[in-house]
Each structure stands twice: as structure tokens, then as C-alpha cells.
């Protein structure tokens, strides 16, 4: 379908379902498993594109809903598209806007034709449909675009989820029909709430339509983590092996590894960037909550084995000072570290998959996460 898009499955780990792959787009290649930092409003908060690259980012995600409302997709199209507008020449994935329409607009009205809602910025009446979402994403010019769907809320009744599933299939068909941009890959999204037969039905419907990749949606929406992973583990093997698999909005380092062990290739989450601004650093020794007074005169870097710019030049004491003094540089330096940490976690995971040793690595990450829990009990 898309001339410039391809996915090569390089390897499946011998003792797990973890996969190694390579995505090719018109703006460069992406080694999978990959984490995509989130640039909601045409910027990964606090960072320049150069910093994203220096910290091993190979693809970013941007939000159709936000850019549709502000500054507007037509404006971005007239400015030469999203890549040029934001000075990022690597691959971009845009979501469809569906998730934000529902999460930011509690009064959104769903009809067969699309969704009516009020802008969370100025209250103005808005409408999004499969066709309009495709058009917006085409204007933005992302390398990978997503079908417009309804992410079924948690919890949902079986009947609601079944009806939504059927509408989502019709919407996916409309997206496929409207999608005309040869240089954009189009991914379908599997829904079906927490019902296995509906998940299976969704896979059958969406795969039947045929897409360049498949996302598992409607997860990480408030359900218990075990349930989320149960459904990832159930759904992923139903998907075609030769297409990339993406789980949206996940997650913590351990959740990402669990997803990879289920055969997922792509992840995105605001966690590393948002936590950075809130002063929480992911490190090889677990989370560092930088405002804690124990770091006030700590001369060591946030993570003693990290090679990021922040860890090479700044102490926990300085980072704590910047955070407490509410200096913008605090958000920047923390974001650099967390983005580097996530991207290097993925790099490490890819190396472990090559060696068929991801389970061993997973055990060591779990031990770090366990220390976090102990820390919380102490504080």
C-alpha cells in the first residue's frame, strides 16, 4: 500500500515471543522494539529535535486532536507539513484524535457519522470523523497514521463493547477508503474491551480490511495492570506476524518489557517526559524523586552508569536545586535524562533479544522496580 513503508521481522526470541524488526519510512528507519516520545503539540516538551536525536530517538508521536484544534492542520500543511514546521526530519506517527476526543471531552456525542464535541481550549463546536481524521493526518504529513476509532472505556458492558466494535470496523473501512497518501502507512486498531471473543472478532474484522500495522487499543485506560497484560498476551499472537504491532499509551519500563515479551514492537507514553517535569527520574537503580531532601547535597549524577548529557554534567544536588527553585532548566535536564533512559532501555532490550536473554534482563529490571516499592514504603 505505502511505497516508502516496510517492516522486516528480523528475529523472534527462541524462548519468548519478543521480536526484533526494522521499519523503513520516507524519513528514516526505526529499529524495533521502539519507544516513541510524545510531542503532543508539535514539540516533545522542553526538547529540540537535535536533542531528541542526540538521545537516540528514532521516531516521535504527535497528536492529531491537539494539532487539529491548534494551530490547525491547514496551517501546518501550508507551512510545509509537520516535519518542516517543527524542524524534525525523522519519522513521525500521528494518532487519529479518537483517544483525546473522548478523554478530554466527557460530553462528546458519538454518532455513526463521527463524533461531535467541544474544543477543550475554547469550547467551540467541533466534529471529527474517520474521513476528517484521515484528511488532518494527511495535512500533517506523518509517516504513520492511525485509523479513527472509539477507544472503549473501562469498564464497559459486553453489549456496549460489541456495538462499538462493529462501528469501529465500519470506521476502519471508511479510513482505509479515504486514505490516499501513498507515502503514509496506515495502522488499524484492535478494540474489544476486556472480552476475549470481542478482541478476537476485532482482529478478524480489522485484519480482513488490511493495514500496514496493527495497534492494540483500549488498554492502559484504567484497568488493572494484570488485566491489561492478559489482553496484550491474548491479542498479540492473533495478529499477522509480518506486520508491526503497537500498543498505545504504554508505559513503565517493566510494562514495556512485558509487552515486548508478548510480541509487541512499538510503544508510546508521556511517562518519561511528564515524570521528568514532575521531578521523577528513571535510573538503573530505580526511580529518583529529585525533590527529596536527601539529594540536597548529593554530588553524584542522577544515574551513576548513565551517559546522557544531564548525568555527565550535573549532580543530584544541582537538579534538586533547579526543581525546588522552579527553574525551567530542571524540566529540560530531567527530560533529556528520561528520554535517553527510555531509548537506551529499548536499545538494551534489542541487544538482549539478539542474545535470547530478554527474560534475564527483565528479572534485573523487576528488581529495580522492587526497590522503588521499598523506597515508597520508607518515605
Q: Where in the sequence numbering do the catalytic residues fall?
A: 95, 268
The verdict on 78 binding a second copy (CB under 8 A) reads yes
CB of 121 to a second copy, least distance (A): 9
CB of 360 to a second copy, least distance (A): 37
DSSP state of 169: H
Name the strand (E) or helix (H) holding 337: helix 328-354
The verdict on 126 binding a second copy (CB under 8 A) reads no
The verdict on 292 binding a second copy (CB under 8 A) reads no
Residues in region 297-356 near a second copy by CB under 8 A = 297, 299, 309, 313-315, 317-318, 320-322, 324-325, 327-329, 331-333
The site for a second copy, by CB under 8 A, has a size of 36
CB of 295 to a second copy, least distance (A): 11
Tell me the sheet residues that pair with 21: 9, 32
Residue among 4, 11, 70, 376 that touches a second copy (CB under 8 A): 70
CB of 266 to a second copy, least distance (A): 25
Residue among 6, 9, 17, 45 that touches a second copy (CB under 8 A): 45
Contact 268, 237 (CB under 8 A): no
The verdict on 100 binding a second copy (CB under 8 A) reads no
Listed in sequence order, the residues at least 6 apart from 197 whose beta carbon sits closer than 8 Å to its beta carbon are none
Nearer to a second copy, 294 or 348 (CB): 294
Nearer to a second copy, 250 or 333 (CB): 333
CB of 329 to a second copy, least distance (A): 5
Helix residue ranges, H only, 96-252: 98-104, 130-140, 158-178, 196-209, 225-235
The verdict on 65 binding a second copy (CB under 8 A) reads no
The verdict on 86 binding a second copy (CB under 8 A) reads yes
The verdict on 79 binding a second copy (CB under 8 A) reads yes
- Gyration radius from the chain CA atoms: 20
Listed in sequence order, the residues at least 6 apart from 87 whose beta carbon sits closer than 8 Å to its beta carbon are 48, 49
Residue among 38, 47, 185, 198 that touches a second copy (CB under 8 A): 47
CB of 317 to a second copy, least distance (A): 5
Contact 219, 181 (CB under 8 A): no
DSSP state of 284: T
Torsion of CA 343, 348, 351, 357, to 10 degrees: -140
Q: What is the DSSP string of 39-80?
A: -TTSS-TT--HHHHHHTT---EEE-HHHHHHTT-HHHHHHTT
Q: How many CA atoms lie within 13 A of 186 on its CB side?
A: 27
Q: Are strands 185-190 and 109-110 parallel, antiparallel or unpaired?
A: unpaired
Nearer to a second copy, 185 or 322 (CB): 322
Nearer to a second copy, 78 or 373 (CB): 78
Contact 199, 239 (CB under 8 A): no
Nearer to a second copy, 4 or 70 (CB): 70
Residue among 1, 10, 227, 296 that touches a second copy (CB under 8 A): 296
CB of 136 to a second copy, least distance (A): 16
Stretch that binds a second copy, among 78-86, 202-210, 232-240, 367-375 (CB under 8 A): 78-86
Task: Work out the widest C-alpha separation in the chain, in whole angstroms.
Answer: 60
Nearest to 56 by CA among 365, 327, 306: 306
Q: Which residues bind a second copy (CB under 8 A)?
A: 41-43, 45-48, 70-71, 75, 78-80, 85-87, 296-297, 299, 309, 313-315, 317-318, 320-322, 324-325, 327-329, 331-333
Amino acid at each position: 500500500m505505502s511505497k516508502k513503508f516496510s517492516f522486516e521481522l528480523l528475529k523472534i526470541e527462541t524462548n519468548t515471543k519478543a521480536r526484533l524488526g526494522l521499519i523503513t519510512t520516507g524519513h528514516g528507519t526505526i529499529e524495533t522494539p521502539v519507544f516513541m516520545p510524545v510531542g503532543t503539540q508539535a514539540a516533545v516538551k522542553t526538547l529540540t529535535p537535535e536533542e531528541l536525536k542526540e538521545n537516540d530517538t528514532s521516531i516521535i508521536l504527535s497528536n492529531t486532536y491537539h494539532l487539529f484544534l491548534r494551530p490547525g492542520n491547514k496551517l501546518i500543511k501550508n507551512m510545509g507539513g509537520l516535519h518542516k514546521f517543527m524542524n524534525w526530519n525523522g519519522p513521525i506517527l500521528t494518532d487519529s484524535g479518537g483517544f483525546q476526543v473522548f478523554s478530554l471531552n466527557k460530553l462528546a456525542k458519538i454518532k455513526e457519522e463521527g463524533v461531535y464535541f467541544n474544543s477543550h481550549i475554547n469550547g467551540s463546536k467541533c466534529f471529527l470523523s474517520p474521513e476528517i481524521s484521515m484528511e488532518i493526518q494527511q495535512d500533517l504529513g506523518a509517516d504513520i497514521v492511525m485509523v479513527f476509532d472509539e477507544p472503549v472505556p473501562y469498564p464497559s458492558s459486553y453489549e456496549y463493547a460489541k456495538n462499538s466494535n462493529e462501528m469501529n470496523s465500519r470506521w476502519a473501512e471508511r479510513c482505509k477508503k479515504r486514505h490516499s497518501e501513498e507515502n503514509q502507512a496506515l495502522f488499524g486498531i484492535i478494540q474489544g474491551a476486556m472480552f476475549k471473543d470481542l478482541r478476537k472478532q476485532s482482529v478478524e474484522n480489522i485484519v480482513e480490511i488490511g493495514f500496514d500495522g496493527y495497534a492494540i487499543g483500549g488498554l492502559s485506560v484504567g484497568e488493572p495492570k494484570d488485566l491489561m497484560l492478559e489482553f496484550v498476551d491474548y491479542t498479540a499472537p492473533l495478529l499477522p506476524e509480518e506486520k508491526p504491532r503497537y500498543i498505545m499509551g504504554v508505559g513503565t519500563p517493566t510494562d514495556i518489557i512485558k509487552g515486548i515479551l508478548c510480541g509487541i514492537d512499538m510503544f508510546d507514553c508521556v511517562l518519561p517526559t511528564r515524570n521528568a517535569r514532575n521531578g521523577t527520574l528513571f535510573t538503573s537503580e530505580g526511580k529518583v524523586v529529585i525533590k527529596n531532601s536527601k539529594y540536597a547535597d548529593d554530588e553524584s549524577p542522577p544515574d551513576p552508569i548513565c551517559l546522557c548529557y544531564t548525568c555527565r554534567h550535573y549532580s543530584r544536588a544541582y537538579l534538586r536545586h533547579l526543581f525546588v527553585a522552579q527553574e525551567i532548566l530542571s524540566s529540560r535536564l530531567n527530560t533529556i535524562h528520561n528520554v535517553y533512559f527510555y531509548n537506551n532501555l529499548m536499545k538494551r532490550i534489542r541487544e538482549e533479544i539478539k542474545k535470547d536473554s530478554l527474560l534475564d534482563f527483565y528479572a534485573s529490571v523487576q528488581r529495580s522496580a522492587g526497590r522503588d516499592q521499598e523506597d515508597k514504603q520508607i518515605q
